[in-house]
């Protein structure tokens, strides 16, 4: 069974950095595209960033140049380095992967950016 565990998150001042991590199990991690999504109160869940098995990355326009997604296949972990955080980045952040026809999600971690 695929499990995604996301420790971290927290409260940070605007302009500051924060790094999220997501540890995966139950899947062939180095053969899986990984992604980060977020959901702010009253809004739909949106894609933040993805990283493919060959390290191709993509970002939402709102975070490009500020966020960096990376992966450590030996640790089966994907990271999201967030810099220059803004209050509008406040959301619950979710780790995601796909295995066959099924999508899997982490439990979510709250990120709050104070102005």
Residue with tokens 């933040």: 48
pLDDT beyond 90 at 98: no
Q: Supply φ then ψ for residue 87, to 5 degrees.
A: -55, -35
The rounded distance, in Å, linking the Cα atoms of 48 and 28 is 22
Residues 49-97: pLDDT tens digits? Answer: 999 999 999 999 999 999 999 999 999 999 999 999 999 999 999 999 9
């Amino acid at each position: 069974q695929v499990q995604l565990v996301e420790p971290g998150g927290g409260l940070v001042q605007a302009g500051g950095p924060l790094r999220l991590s997501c540890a995966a199990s139950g899947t062939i991690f180095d053969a899986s595209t990984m992604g980060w999504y977020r959901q702010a109160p009253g809004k739909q869940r949106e894609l933040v960033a993805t990283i493919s098995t060959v390290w191709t990355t993509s970002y939402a326009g709102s975070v490009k140049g500020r966020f960096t997604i990376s992966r450590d296949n030996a640790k089966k972990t994907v990271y999201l380095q967030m810099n220059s955080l803004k209050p509008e980045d406040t959301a619950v952040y979710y780790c995601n992967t796909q295995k066959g026809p099924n999508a899997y999600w982490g439990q979510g971690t709250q990120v709050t950016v104070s102005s």
